[in-house]
Chains A and B, each alone.
Chain A
Amino acid sequence: MDDPGRSRLAETILLFCRALRHAGLPVGPGAVIDALAAVAATGIQKREDFAYALRCVLVNDPAQFRLFDQTFHICFRNPLLLAQLLALPLVQPGQATAVAAQDAGIRRLLESLTGSSQAAADDDPSSRDRAGSYSAREILRHKDFAQMSLEEVAEAQRLLREESNIPGTCRSRRFRAGTSGRRYDLRRSMQLMLRCHGQPVQLARKSNEERQHSLVLLCDISGSMSIYSRMFLLYAHTLAAKHRRVHTFVFGTRLTNISRWLRDRDADQAMQKISAQVHDWDGGTRIAESLQQFNLVWSRRVLESNANVVLLCDGLERGSGAELAFQMQRLKRGCRQLIWMNPLLSYRGFEAKASGIRAMRPHVDRFVTAHNLASLDDLRRLLAETPPRRTVRALGVAA
């Protein structure tokens, strides 16, 4: 082991793991030790074995393969360069922008290597008086987000963060000990009996545990939805903080899963991470394509049969209505209830004239508005309620 070649190899692997960690992969010290053991076991005669060995120890998500490969390429082609880059204290903006990579992870890698990552700008905590009067609150609750002043927006955001109860539950197949319940808990009964020196006592019981419905939020972030989607994401953040089974996606021209970033406890930090990673804010929208992407790539992974899906979207789609209807149908079939929140509904005299809205409308379980705090409160109630019964006709059969 004292062979200088070996220790240099170990050093390079350490550097490599550090580079991965900088790039955002969850590589802990345990994984580094495993990586060393893995390389010791496979040997370094073949470059590809070496790469695979490291990859299967250090990476546990196929989405990270590309980032790993890039880092591997950089590190093991010229480890000296890597050491220099990691040691660089200064910001080199020129270098980072010259290789403006599209992949956010790879951009992160470059940033970590050149040290030009941007520290999270800290918003000052609001020191406003928190005791709003009841009637002021009521007015705010019913005011359209789009008509709020900046101050009111801030206040509404604060209210959103305050109120975050958890939507309804269903019975799971797991049992928990309890005083009532239809089944006997023999293990606990035995323990109770022993405590009473073998005297038969009342048998212990167990009942089905209650489980939260999982919740999938799909949020349109195109230009026309801007103010509503920002509010909605804050709402999603408060839900994700209390509720483990929340999956959140945003889409403009493409779909992005932002669930992990939303788990950050600080709402501002979470929003900052999201806006750094999502590139189609305030642009156009391709609803059908985004829904198709969700159906193909994500639905099987996040939709359990008891999932509630909330779609925040104005339905203003220029593309073909048939494709949109098909994707909506598919989405509806995979979930417990599909709730469409559309801020346009708040306009008096709203009529579903746009082709997108007409295509989507028949395939949702509930169609509600999403323009103020009160409507977000209503959503909580809807999530807990039993959804309206679906008729076979409403489910539809594919052509």
Chain B
Amino acid sequence: MPDLRPMLPADVDETAALLEAVQYVSNRQLATAVFLALSLNRPLLLEGEAGVGKTELAKVLAQTLHRQLIRLQCYEGLDLASAAYEWNYPRQMVAIRLAEAQGRIAGVNETLYTEENLIERPLLAALRPQLSGPPVLLIDEIDRADEPFEAFLLELLSDFQLSIPEFGVVRAESPPIVVITSNRTREIHDALRRRCLYHWIDYPTLEAESRIVALKASGAAAELRRQMVEFVQVLRSADLFKPPGVAETIDWAHALARLDAAELTAGLIDDTLGSLLKYQDDIARIRGAEAAKILSGILAAA
């Protein structure tokens, strides 16, 4: 049977085209980082503010390369049993009882720690061969996990293998595509950084953001989209506690489209500011005079 899987991109241009094809607006730097991660078989560590499309990149990669997406959401206290593997204790119990009844308890060890009694969790599943090719492993928001979990990951990320004490080493035949994301609520340890390619996803430029909004929220009128993207770009340069991400811009576009707005007005901004800013201090600062000032600046420039 001929291999119908999409080929990995051969250079940076192809990578950029690939991302473009699934409507992920990237830039040259990100395309280079993705291309290198794919061709050097290295995990890709993506950092950036919340809502700039880090997780989306992993989803898009899985979609465009037709690979399975295996996702591990991190949280404090995440341990091997829920991240990598667990033994099937009830089955082991039964096996022991059975062996006891049959009087061959001496050899029970070999039957307990076998492949059948091993329950796969995301990390182990990502090492298993799959029909569609090595999967995309997304380790999401690693900054939410605690330091011990980072240590679990080190072996997996450098050698794409897991050592299970009772069982042996499980090694990936062909390494998965690993994407790790972090919002920097905590600094990631150097040991983990060292094993990854690093890319910082910045807020998009005016041009890029306009394209993103046009693609993701085509319901909003063109003039409205232009005004709101410019407004958001100005907001990001103000000293806000949490400047809006691209996800917020898209939300806002949907909200305004739902309200049948044709263009931005000061009243409309005040009413919908909650889809853009999520802290009361920030909203209090921008609502009213400040918003009107930014808006008049945009209208004057147009």
Contact = CB atoms under 8 A, between A and B. Distances in A.
Interface string A19-48: 000000010101100100110011100101
B157 interface: no
Contact of B146 (A46, A172, A295, A399): A172
A62 interface: yes
Nearest to B33: A56
Contacts of B97: 198
Contacts of A48: 28
B185 interface: yes
A37 B38 CA distance: 13
A295 B240 CA distance: 10
Interface in A297-356: 300-302, 304, 326, 330
Interface stretch (A113-121, A185-193, A231-239): A185-193
Interface string A356-380: 0000000000000000000000000
Contacts of B167: none
A74 interface: no
A244 B99 CA distance: 48
Interface residues of B, number: 53
B247 interface: no
Contact of A62 (B87, B93, B200): B200
A48 B106 CA distance: 65
B164 to A, nearest CB: 11
Contact of A52 (B11, B28, B39, B186): B28
Given A37-B40, A56-B197, A198 B284 contact: no
A38 B32 CA distance: 10
A190 B79 contact: no
A104 interface: no
Contacts of A26: 190, 194
A173 interface: yes
A87 interface: no
A56 B36 contact: yes
Contacts of A56: 29, 32-33, 36, 197-199
A173 B79 CA distance: 10
B45 A193 contact: no
A301 B182 CA distance: 11
Given A49-B32, A173-B77, A301-B184, A41 B108 contact: no
B13 to A, nearest CB: 9
Residue among A43, A61, A244 with the most chain B CB within 10 A? Answer: A61
A399 B200 CA distance: 35
A191 to B, nearest CB: 8
B159 interface: no
Interface string A247-287: 00000000000000000000000000000000000000000
B40 A38 contact: yes
21 contacts: A31-B194, A38-B36, A41-B40, A42-B12, A46-B12, A52-B33, A56-B198, A59-B198, A61-B198, A173-B75, A173-B77, A174-B79, A175-B79, A186-B89, A187-B81, A187-B87, A190-B87, A190-B93, A198-B96, A198-B97, A302-B187
Sorted nearest first, the 9 A-B pairs with minimum C-beta distance are: A173-B77, A60-B198, A52-B32, A60-B193, A186-B89, A198-B96, A56-B33, A62-B200, A174-B77
Interface of B: 11-12, 28-29, 32-33, 35-36, 39-40, 42, 45, 47, 75-77, 79, 81, 87, 89, 92-93, 96-97, 99-100, 105-106, 108-109, 112, 146-148, 183-187, 190, 193-194, 196-200, 239-241, 280-281, 284
